Amino acid sequence: MPTRVVDTSNSPYAKLRPVPVEEVELKDGFWAKRLNKLREATIPSQYELLENTGRIYNFRRAAGKEKGDFQGLVFNDSDVYKWVEAAGFLLASRFDEKLYSLVEKVVDDICAAQDEDGYLNTFFTFENKAKRWSNLARDHELYCAGHLIQAAIALRRAIGDQKLFNAAVCFANHILRVFGPDGKPGAPGHPEIEMAMVELYRETGDHRYLSMAKKFIDNRGRGIAGGDVNRIDHKPFKELDEIVGHAVRSLYLNCGATDLYMETGDKEVWSVLERLWNNMVKCKMYVTGGVGSRYDGEAFGFNYELPNAQAYAETCAAIASFMWNWRMFLASGDAKFVDVMELALYNGVLAGISLDGKEYFYVNPLADRGRHRRRKWFECACCPPNVARLVASLPGYFYSLSEEGIWVNMYDENTARLRFKDNIVRMVQKTNYPWDGRVEIALSLEHELDFSMYLRIPGWSGDTEASLNGLKISEEIKPGSYFKLSRSWNDGDRIELSFQMGVRKTSCNPLVYENLGRMALSRGPLVYCLESVDNTGFDVWDLLIPEDAVLQAEWAPNLLDGVMVIRGEGYVADSDWGQDSLYRALNPAKARKTGFLAIPYYAWANREPGPMSVWIRSTPRLDSPMQRQGDSSS
Amino acid sequence: MPTRVVDTSNSPYAKLRPVPVEEVELKDGFWAKRLNKLREATIPSQYELLENTGRIYNFRRAAGKEKGDFQGLVFNDSDVYKWVEAAGFLLASRFDEKLYSLVEKVVDDICAAQDEDGYLNTFFTFENKAKRWSNLARDHELYCAGHLIQAAIALRRAIGDQKLFNAAVCFANHILRVFGPDGKPGAPGHPEIEMAMVELYRETGDHRYLSMAKKFIDNRGRGIAGGDVNRIDHKPFKELDEIVGHAVRSLYLNCGATDLYMETGDKEVWSVLERLWNNMVKCKMYVTGGVGSRYDGEAFGFNYELPNAQAYAETCAAIASFMWNWRMFLASGDAKFVDVMELALYNGVLAGISLDGKEYFYVNPLADRGRHRRRKWFECACCPPNVARLVASLPGYFYSLSEEGIWVNMYDENTARLRFKDNIVRMVQKTNYPWDGRVEIALSLEHELDFSMYLRIPGWSGDTEASLNGLKISEEIKPGSYFKLSRSWNDGDRIELSFQMGVRKTSCNPLVYENLGRMALSRGPLVYCLESVDNTGFDVWDLLIPEDAVLQAEWAPNLLDGVMVIRGEGYVADSDWGQDSLYRALNPAKARKTGFLAIPYYAWANREPGPMSVWIRSTPRLDSPMQRQGDSSS
C-alpha cells in the first residue's frame, strides 16, 4: 500500500507520479535530524496538547463518553486529523508500536463520534446538531471533513488502516447525499474538501468523489461560500485573474483545482492555475517563499505589497504553497514549481517550528524588534500539526517517476528503493546539502536498464557541474530545469553534481518599495537574516552593506544545531532614537565599519530576543565622492 | 451671530475661544487662492454632483416630491449636509446671493423630508421606515444626524438661518426621546453625533444635548455600536489605551470627547485623549500628517505600521485629525496641537483636492507608480465635501482669544477685526507664508490697550527671529510654543517674525522599517515629494541622496500655480527591472550623479502620471572608501 502524498499513478493528465514515503529513507542529513525531532519531540508533545486543549476530548464528548461543553474553535477537529496524518507518514517511514497504539486510540475516539448517517464533526452535535450544513461560509464542516479524508487515506496507505478509512468514506458518502448531483449546492468557506475528494477518488476509483470535487469548485463565485474575496467566492474559479483573499484558502482551492486538472485535463482550469501562479510568484511572494502578506484576512495583498516588519506570511500559507507547487509539478514536470517548493520548505515553512520541535510561529515577519516569539500552541492551532504532517511526508517528495525515468527533485542524504517499470532501482544520495553543493548519487540495479535520470538543477545554481562515473559532463546545465541523462544504466553508476554554493546577494524588484536599496543574503536554498544576538554593538536594522561587499560562508558546528553562517563587513551609523518621536531633523551621521554575521532565516528566534532583519540596506558604488560640506541651503 | 467653528466662548474648561470666520479675511495669499477656487469651482461642481448622483433627489423623494428608488449609500445624506456646512462658512466670509439661493433651495429640500416626529434620514423612509434605529453599528443614522446638526449650526451662525436649525433641533429632540435618559441605550457605529450634540448644547444652552453626548460616549464598549475595534466599541472610552480602528471614526469620537471635556472638565477624559494623541503622533502618523495607514478597515495600524506605497491615509482622516487637534488646542493652548493641524492641513488634507478644485483623493499614498489619480467623485463621497467645509472654515483658525490676549495660530496674508474684551483690535498680516518665513503683523487699535500677543512659533522653525516696531526681540524664542508678548499696545504697533525657511531633511524613527535609510524633504510646513514629470532620465524611486547633500529652494512661478521647488543632486543606479520577476541576483551597480527637483506633496498628481515618492533613499557618510573589489565569496 504505497504511501504517496498525492497519488497520480493513474491520473491521465499528470506528467509524474510520486514515490511512496516508505521507499525513501532520509539518513543523517539535514532533514533526518528534523524527522527524528518530529518523531521524538513534536508528535508526542502535540498529542499532549491535543488532549490538554480538549480537542480529542471533543470526540469522546460527541460519542457520549464524556460530559461537558465543546471546547475551543469550530474547526478544532481538523487539528486532530492533521496530527493523525502526520503520524501516518511517520509510521510509513518506520513502524513504531508506541506511536501506532496512540494513533489507534485516537482513531477509536474519532470513529466513535460518527453519527449513524456518516456525519462526523464534534461541534455540530447535541445542541448544535440542527445547525449542520447551515453556514457553509463560516462553519468549516467541509474543511474538517477534508482533513479527515486526507488523514484516513494517509493512514490506510501507511499501515493499511481500514477503520478511519471507513469512517471517512461514510462521511464522504454523507456529503455526496447532501451536496451531490441531487443535493443542494455547496461550496466551502475554507477549501480543503476539494483535494480530499479527488484523493478519495484516486484511492477508491469511485467517480462520484471526483464529480463532487468538481462541483464544489464549479460552485464558487455564486455566494454559497460567503460571496466575498476572502473566501475566494467573489468570482467563479475560472474567472480568477489575480491571487487574492485568505492565502491558505486560496492555495488549498488551487490544490484541489490542480488535482482536478490532473484527472480531467480541463485546459481552462490549467490556464487559471498558471495565471494565479505567475501572479503569486512575480508579485506576491516573499523572498522566503512566504505568502499572504496581509494581517487583515490572513490574505494576499495587492501586487508588490510585501511589508517586512508587518509581514503576515502564515506558516500554513507557506505549507499550502508547497502543497500546490507539488501538484503543479506533478502535472507538468516543470522545475520552476520545485524551486518554489524548496524555497518555501527551507525558509517560510521551517521557520514555523523551533529547533527543539516544540514551539511554533503562526506569523513569520521578515524583520522584527524581538517581540515576535514562537509559542507552544495557539487557540487557532492550524500551523503546528500542518508543519508536522508536511515534515513527516518529506521523504515522498525527493523523487518522482515518469514513463521515461526517474526524477530527482530534492537533495539530502538518503537511500531510496524505487520501482520503475517492474524494476527495482536503488539510489544512495551522499551529500551535505544544503550546506554543501556536492551531491553524489549512486545507483544499484539488478540488471542493466534503459531510462532517463532527470536531475533538478535549482534556479539559484548558476554554474552547476555534473559528472558521470567520474567523467565531467560537458553539456550545458541550465539552472531552474531538470537535466536529463539518458542511457543504459548499470549497477554502480555514479552521478556527481556540484551546485554553486556561493553567498548570493539578492535584490528585489523595485516595485516593492519596502525593499528598495536593500539586499537579501542567500546561500543554496537558504535565505539568511541578521539577528542581534550575533551582532552586538549595533542594531541589525541599521546595518548598511556596500553592494560589492565581500561575504564569506563559514561552518559553525555549535551554533543552532550546526549552521553555515555568513560573515562580512558593513557600515553602521548609530542612532539614538527612543520611542518618543516619529520624525526629527536628519543629523548627517558618519557611518563606522563593522563586521556582521548572518544566520539562516529558519533558525531565527531560537535564542535570546532582539532585532532581526532579512532585507539589509545596501548602497551602490557612487561614481564620485559624496559631497561632504554641509553648505547652507537657501 | 459669530460663526465660530467650535464655540467655546462659554466652555468652562476651554483655555481658548475661536475667532469667528467672518472676522478674518484671507487676502491674496496661499489660502485666499484656495478659498476663491472653492467658491468658484468646488462648491458649484459639488452641488451639481450632489444633484446628479441623487443625493439631493433622495430628500425630494423622501418628501414625496419625486418617485423612484433611494439612490446610493445609506449615509449619502451626510454629503449634502457637509456641502451646506461648507456653503455656510463661505456665506459667513462673504455673502453671495447666488450661493445663498442655492443653499435655501437645498435647505427646503432637506426640511421637506423631515417626518412629523422630527426623524430625518432619506434612506429610512417608506419600505425602510421600520428599520429606523435597528442597527446602530452599521446604519449611520446618528452619523447623518450629527452632520445635519453641524450644518444647521454653521448656517445659523453664518446667515441667521432658522429653518434648517429648527429641523436639526427637532431631530435632536427626537434623538433625545429615543436615546435620552428614559430612552434605549445608544452608541453609533460611526461617531459624529457626539461633537454635534455638544455644539448644539453650546448653541442653545440646553443641557440635555450635552448629557446626550456624554451618554453616547459612556455607552461605548458595551456592544451597542457593534462591539468591534473598527467601530471603537471594543472597550469603554475611558479604557482606550491605544489609538486603533477606523481612523475617521476614532478621531471623530475623540473630537466629541474633547468637546465634552471642555464642558465638564472630566480629567479622566482628558488623560485618555492625551494618551491617544501621544500614541497617534509618536507611533501612527505619516510625515504628511496623514493617519489611518491601513486599507483594511480604513484603520490605524500597529505602532510604526506606516507603509508608503500602500498607505491608506484617507483625506477625511487628516481632516478629522485637524478637527481633533483644533479642539485639543482650544482646551489647552498647547502649540503642539497646532503643529499637527498645520502639518495635516498643508499636506495630508490639501493633497486631497486637485489644484483646479474639482478632483479628489480619498486615499493618499506617500509613494506611487502613477496609477493613483484624483477622481471627480466617489460612490462613498465623504472626502470631497469634507475638504470643502474645512477649507471654507479656515479663516476661523488663524486667531483665537484667551482672557490674557490674542493668539496668532497660523500665518497667511489676512486682515482681521477681532473683539477682545469689548475692544476692537484690527490686525493686518503681511506675508508670503508658507513660501517665505517673514510675517509682519500690524495692529490697529482705537486706544491703547493692555494685553498679551501669543505668537505661534512652529515646531520646525529652529531659529526664529522677532522684532517689535523694528527692534529685535532678544528673548529666547522656542520652536513649538507660543511666544508671549505682553505690553500696552498702541495703534500702529508692528510685530515682525522670521521663521527659518531652510530646506529640512527629516529622518524617521528607525522602528518604521519602511523609512530606514530614507529622508523626507520639508520646507516650512510643507512636505515635499519627487514626481517623475520633473525628473526625467531616472526613476524617482531609485534616487539616493547623500545625507549631507546641499539642497536649494527656488521659486517656480509657473509651476503648479506657483510653488517653491527644492533642487539638489543625488545618485541613481539604473535598474532594468520589468514586472516579470520579484527577485534576482544583485548586480552591483555604479550609481551616477543626477540633479533632481522636488515639489510640495500637496501638488502631486496634477500633471501627467508617473512614479512619486516622499521618502527618498539616503546614505550616511562612510568612514572609509567602500570596498570596490568583488572578491570571490566562499
Question: pLDDT tens digits, residue range A520-573?
Answer: 999 999 999 999 999 999 999 999 999 999 999 999 999 999 999 999 999 998
Position B19: which residue type?
Answer: V
* Least CB–CB distance from A513: residue in B367, B552, B632: B367
> Model confidence over B141-176: pLDDT tens digits?
999 999 999 999 999 999 999 999 999 999 999 999
* Average pLDDT value for residue range A584-588: 88
**A566 with A503: CB under 8 angstroms?**
yes
SS (H, E, C) B233-300: CCCCHHHCCCCCEEHHHHHHHHHHHHHHHHHHCCHHHHHHHHHHHHHHHHHCECCCCCECCECHHHEE
Residue B506 bridge partners (DSSP): A585, B520
State how far the Cα of B314 lies from the Cα of A609, in Å rounded to an integer.
36
For A589-599, the pLDDT digits (tens) are 888 999 999 99
What pLDDT score does A371 carry? 94
Q: Which of B297, B548, B573 sits opposite A588 (nearest CB)?
A: B548
- Give the C-alpha separation, B380 to B385, whole Å: 11
Residue of B290, B472, B469, B471 whose CA lies nearest to B365 = B290
Instruction: Compute φ and ψ for B300, nearest 5 degrees.
Output: -60, 140
Q: In the prediction, which pLDDT does B612 show?
A: 98
Q: Are B155 and B161 in contact (CB under 8 A)?
A: yes
pLDDT of residue B623: 59
Mutation target among B336, B516, B627 for the A interface, most CBs of A within 10 A: B516
Average pLDDT over residues A603-630: 79
Instruction: Supply the DSSP string of A522-562, one letter for each residue.
Output: EETTEEEEEEGGG-TTS-GGG-EEETT--EEEEEETTSTTS
Contact in structure between A479 and A461 (CB atoms under 8 Å): yes
pLDDT of residue A619: 87
| pLDDT confidence band for A626 (50 / 70 / 90) | very low
Beta bridge partner(s), residue A125: none
Stated as kind and residue range, the H or E segment containing A90 is helix A77-93
Residue B580's pLDDT is 85
Please tell me if residue A390 touches chain B, with a CB cutoff of 8 Å: no
**Which tens digit of pLDDT belongs to each residue from A298-344?**
999 999 999 999 999 999 999 999 999 999 999 999 999 999 999 99
> Within the 419-448 window of chain A, which residues sit less than 8 Å (CB to CB) from chain B?
none
Say yes or no: A529 contacts chain B, CB-CB below 8 A. no
Q: What is the pLDDT of residue A621?
A: 76
Specify whether the CB–CB gap between B30 and B225 falls below 8 A.
Answer: no
**Helix locations, A371-482, DSSP H:** 383-392
Cell of B88: 455656510
User: Is A512 in Cβ contact with B547 (below 8 Å)?
Assistant: no
Tell me whether A584 touches chain B (CB under 8 Å): yes
Phi-psi region of B514 (alpha: psi -120 to 50; beta: other; left: phi over 0): alpha
Taking the Cβ of residue B236 and every Cβ of chain A, the question of whether any pair is shorter than 8 Å is answered with: no
Which of A282, A310, A591 has the CB atom closest to B579's CB atom? A282
* CA gap B17, B151 in Å, rounded: 20
Q: Which three cell numbers stand for residue B618?
A: 539616503
Interface subset of A 535-554, CB within 8 angstroms of B: 539, 541-542, 544, 546-554
Mean pLDDT, chain A, rounded, equals 95
What does the DSSP 8-state code read for residue B182?
T
Annotation marks residue B382 as catalytic: yes
The answer to whether A618 and A546 have CB atoms below 8 angstroms apart is: yes
Q: Does the pLDDT of residue B633 top 60, yes or no?
A: no
| Residue-level pLDDT at B589 | 79
Tell me the three state secondary structure of residue B508.
Answer: strand
What the block records as the C-alpha cell of B544 is 539616493
- Whether residue B607 contacts residue B354, with contact meaning beta carbons closer than 8 Å, is answered with no
Query: What average pLDDT score do residues A213-219 get?
Result: 98
Question: What phi and psi values does residue A91 have, to the nearest 5 degrees?
Answer: -65, -30
Residue B591, chain A, CB below 8 Å: the answer is: yes
Residue A590's DSSP bridge partners are: B621
Strands B526-531 and B518-523: what pairing?
A: antiparallel
Report the alpha-carbon distance of residue B143 to residue B5 in Å, rounded. 18
- Best of B304, B538, B583, B614 to disrupt the A interface by mutation (most A CBs within 10 Å)? B583
Residues of A numbered 271-300 whose beta carbons fall under 8 angstroms of chain B's beta carbons: which are they? 281-283, 285, 287, 294-297
Instruction: Check if B298 is active-site.
Output: yes
B447: pLDDT strictly greater than 70: yes
Position with higher pLDDT, A633 vs B537: B537
Residue A173's pLDDT band (cuts 50, 70, 90): very high
Determine what percent of chain B is predicted with pLDDT higher than 70: 98
Confidence of residue A403 (pLDDT cuts 50, 70, 90): very high
Q: Which residues have CB under 8 Å from A101's CB, separation 6+?
A: none
Question: Which residues on A lie below 8 Å from B564 (Cβ)?
Answer: none
Residue B551: all three cell numbers together: 539642497
pLDDT at residue A243 is higher than 80: yes
- For residue A630, the model assigns a pLDDT of 37
Judged against a pLDDT cut of 60, whether residue B491 lies above it is answered with yes
How far, in Å, CA of A564 to CA of A70, rounded? 47
- Alpha-carbon separation of residue A521 from A313, A550, A613 (angstroms): 19, 12, 11
Residue A623: its pLDDT value, please? 59
Best A554, A626, A628 member to test B by mutation, with max B CBs in 10 Å, is A626
Contact A305 B304 (CB under 8 A): no
Q: Which of B513, B591, B620 sits opposite A591 (nearest CB)?
A: B620
* Best CA proximity match to B100, nearest among B159, B13, B54: B159
pLDDT average, residue stretch A253-261: 98
Q: Which helix (H) or strand (E) holds A568?
A: strand A563-572
Does A576 reach chain B within 8 Å, measured CB to CB? no
Rounded to 10°, the helix A267-283/A247-264 angle is: 150
How far from chain centre, in Å, is Cα B539? 31
- For the residues A271-292, what does the mean pLDDT come to? 98
How far does the CA of residue B356 sit from the closest CA of chain A (Å)?
Answer: 30
- Catalytic pick among B298, B342, B359, B413: B298
Give tens-digit pLDDT for A471-510.
999 999 999 999 999 999 999 999 999 999 999 999 999 9
pLDDT confidence band for A629 (50 / 70 / 90): very low
User: Are the Cβ atoms of A622 and B503 closer than 8 angstroms?
Assistant: no
Question: C-alpha grid cell for residue A23?
Answer: 521507499
Q: Give the closest of B308, B509, B513 to A582, CB-based.
A: B509
Backbone angles phi, psi at B50, to 5 degrees: -60, -40
pLDDT, chain B, mean: 95
Q: How far is CA A514 from CA A305, A519, A618, B586, in A?
A: 9, 11, 13, 16
Q: Where does residue B426 rank: exposed (0-12), middle (13-18), buried (19+ CB within 10 A)?
A: middle
Residue A486 forms beta bridges with which residues? A452
Contacts A626 to B, Cβ<8 Å: 546, 548-549, 619, 621
- Looking at CA atoms only, how far is residue A78 from chain B in angstroms? 28
